[in-house]
Amino acid sequence: MSSAFHSISPLDGRYREDVGELCEYFSEHALIRERLRVEIAYFLALSRTSGVRELRKFSREEERALWRVVEEFSERDARRVKELERAFRHDVKAAERFLRERWNAWEFVRPYLSFVHFGLTSEDVNNVAYGLLVQRALAQVIVPGVDACGVSLRALSKKWKSVRLLALTHGQPATPTTVGKEFLVFAERLERQIRSLRTFRMQGKFGGAVGNFAAHRVAYPNVDWPAFGRKFLKSFDLIPLLHTTQINPHDDCAELSHILVRINTILLDCSRDLWLYIMRGVFRQNVIKGEVGSSTMPHKVNPIDFENAEGNLGLSTALFSHFAEKLPVSRLQRDLSDSTVQRNIGVAFGHHLLAVKALLRGFSRIDVDRALCQREIREHPEICSEAAQVTFRRYGKGDAYDQLKALTRGKSLTAENLQKIVRRTRIPADAKERLLVGMQG
Please indicate whether residue 294 is annotated as part of the active site.
Answer: yes
Active site residue 339: no
Strand 239-240 and strand 203-204: pairing? parallel
DSSP-derived letter for residue 14 is T
Identify the active-site residue in 170, 295, 299, 412: 170
Distance CA 133, CA 127 (A): 10
In 3-state terms, what secondary structure has residue 285? Answer: strand
Is the distance from CB of 6 to CB of 125 less than 8 angstroms?
Answer: no
Q: Please state the length of the chain.
A: 441
Could you tell me how far CA 110 lies from the centroid of its own chain? 44
Helix (H) or strand (E) holding 178: strand 172-178
Task: Count CB-CB contacts under 10 A for residue 2.
Answer: 6
- Residue 31's nearest CA partner among 87, 94, 83 is 94
Identity of residue 326: K
What residue type is assigned to position 157 of the chain? Answer: S
Sign of CA dihedral 145, 150, 155, 157: positive
In sequence order, the 6+-apart residues with CB closer than 8 A to the CB of 414 are 381
Cα–Cα dist 87/89, whole Å:
6
* Cα separation, 374 vs 71, whole angstroms: 61
- Return the bridge partners of 214, or none: none
Distance (Å, whole) CA 55 – CA 80: 27
**What residues are annotated to the active site?**
170, 294
